[in-house]
Every structure is written in C-alpha cells, then in structure tokens.
Amino acid sequence: MLLEGRLARREGVQHGWLSVEGERVGAVGTGPPPRTPDERHDGIIAPGLIDLQVNGAAGREVTGGPEALDVIDATQLAHGVTSYLPTIVTTTPEVQARAAGELADRVRDPRSPVEGIHLEGPFLSPAHAGMHATELLRAPAQGIPPAYASGALRLVTLAPELAGAIELTGELRRRGVAVALGHSGADAETVGAAIERGAALVTHLFNAMAPLHHRRPGLVGTALGDERVTMTVIADGVHVHPLVLAMIRRAAVGRTILVSDSSPAAAAPAGRYRMAGIEIEGAPGGPVLTASGALAGSSLTLDAAVRNWMALTGASLSEALCAAGERAAAAVGLSAGLYPGAWADIVLFDEAGDVVRVMRRGRFTDSN
C-alpha cells in the first residue's frame, strides 16, 4: 500500500509518501510518490499516538477484565492511540496481580494495542496520594507485591523518598522497566539520587507532588531543570493551568510527553463511574472528581491532548504529535515513527488534529 500526504516527523511536516509492506513501513520519501498512491490524504500522516497512562475509558477501568479491556482497546484505537500502557492505580495486591495477568495476555495478543503495564502504586507518598487509597499505600521496604514480578511490566511510578524506593529503582532499571517519579514530596537531593539510579521520567508534572518553591525545588524544579528527565503532562487545562502548561513547554520543549491519565469517564457520557473501588464523577471535557473533590484521572483522550497542547501553548502539530508519540515510545523502550522498518502504526489527521483513519500493524482499523 502506498500513502501520500503531509508526513509528520520529528523534523517537521513535509509533503511525501510512504509504503506499507505487511505490518511495517517500507520505503519513505519526500516529494511526489514513485507511482499512483493507493490513498492520497489531504491532511497529516503521523505515527500512531502512544499513551503511557490509561486508567480506563468508555465507562470501564483497566482492572475490569477482558470485556472491559476489549472496550478500552477499541476506544484507544478510535482516538488514534495505537499503543498504550494500561495503568493500575493503587489497589489490593490480589486485584493488582489478577489484572496484571490479564494485561500480560493482552501484551502477547498482536491484535491489542496494549504494550505493557504501568503500575502507579502502592509506593506513593500518603501526603500526595491524590485519589489513591491511603490505607493501601506502603513503602518498598515493606515488601514488593507479586505484580511487580510480571514480565509485562514496562513502567512504574513511585515516590523516591519512601524506604527502599531508591534500591527498587535500580532493580527495576536492571530489568529494563522504566521508572517515573511521582506522588511525591521528595527534596531535590532525593530526586537526584533516584535519577542517578536510572529514574528518567516524572508522572503528571505538578499534580500530586509538592509545589515548586524557589528555595526548595523538589521534584518539580528538578524535572524542569535536569536535562536527563522527561516529564508527562495532562494537557486538559484542568490539571495544570494553561499559563503553566506554556511555561513547561518553554522550559522543556524537547522533554515533555503528553498523557491522558484517562479514567472510566473518558469518552463516556457525563455521569458516575468507579475506579479502584472509588466512586468518581465526570463529564466530557470537564474534571473527574471523587466525592471529596480530589481529581481522579481525567476525561481526556490523547488526541484531544494533542489539540489542547497546540491551542494552549502554541505548539505546532508536529511538535505535539512527537510529544504524544515518538517521545513517549522512547521513554519506555518502544519504537515509533515514519521510517523504514517501523511498525505501520499510522494515524491520518485532518488539519485541525482530528483523527480521520487509524492503521495498526499495517491494517486500517475500519477495514473489514
């Protein structure tokens, strides 16, 4: 199959073409295609989006079993997400282990966009728990739950100030698991120690962490100032004020990753849902809250985050797509991009950044 259109790549957007051979990208070129294309797209041809933090969508949560995962998979693909990390928030070790087993099956299924597991908990600071159940939080020194042994584990979020967290960071990195720092009140020295052990990500910058102080930079200041760190951001205009989103872009334009942190309220009608046993309430485009008023994930989808990042910060479409695709992939050891040999995970966008068609592994998802 030969596609022609404006290709979105790290270096910008340029008219060109690419061939799809089986499940992978074949040749890629700029200018006129070598023959009549099978599809000429008037908008943007981009790599598939990659979401590192999906708690749920369409009324389901990622711990809800195979039927729920079928719905979440389909929802992600419909919004241009060709790879994602289901994120298990703090829950009991039994639920976490059962869900990790089900998700490992998805990783092995070539039809599913699940690429690994993200464990966000239980190794989080009780003082910065957000919607996580504080009674289930613990330190690594108190024991590691069985789910952490899963071969499908790809990303862990932890608070580095907890007893045993620095040591666990080093062990996870030796296994090839990416480590993000989050839900934390750590000082800059502790954050630096975790970075030295291999932590290279920060989960949803500014949210569920000690605020930036000019004499106590902590996790926020270290993330913005340390070139070794890439940070994820929830660009819904609710979790982080648009002025601060623009500040993040100016300070770390090449080190920002867009995530949805989507809850079951994402891509779902306004209403009440449950996540990790907690009742939440949300509406499309609005905040998702617990009964106590705490933010509980978002109603965001990643394609909307791309559009928001452009609208709220002045980022170009190619820059926003990189933050929601190739940069996210690199952070957790995946590959993505429009280059020969890459997986043919491709999204056709219109000029406004809306999804037109989605291809995963060389096949359009709307094809019979």
And the tokens for 250?
């100016």
Catalytic residue status for 261: yes
Count CB-CB contacts under 10 A for residue 323. Answer: 27
Return d(Cα 260, Cα 234) in angstroms, integer: 6
Return d(Cα 98, Cα 239) in angstroms, integer: 30
Q: Side by side, which strands form the sheet with 295-298?
A: 271-275, 278-282, 287-290, 295-298
SS (H, E, C) the chain: CEEEEEEEECCEEEEEEEEEECCEEEEEEECCCCCCCCEEEEEEEEECEEEEEECEECCEECCCCHHHHHHHHHHHHHCCEEEEEEEEECCCHHHHHHHHHHHHHHHCCCCCCECCEEEECCCCCHHHCCCCCHHHCCCHHHCCCHHHHCCCEEEEEECCCCCCHHHHHHHHHHCCCEEEECCECCCHHHHHHHHHCCCCEECCCCCCECCCCCCCCHHHHHHHHCCCCEEEEECCCCCCCHHHHHHHHHHCCCCEEEECCECCCCCCCCEEEEECCEEEEECCCCEEEECCCCEEEECCCHHHHHHHHHHHHCCCHHHHHHHCCHHHHHHCCCCCCCCCCCECCEEEECCCCCEEEEEECCEECCCC
Kindly report whether the peptide bond that precedes residue 122 is cis, defined as omega within 30 degrees of 0.
Answer: yes
Catalytic residue among 73, 187, 226, 261: 261
Q: Side by side, which strands form the sheet with 24-30?
A: 24-30, 12-21, 2-9, 39-47, 346-349, 355-360, 363-364
Q: What amino acid positions are annotated as catalytic residues?
A: 261
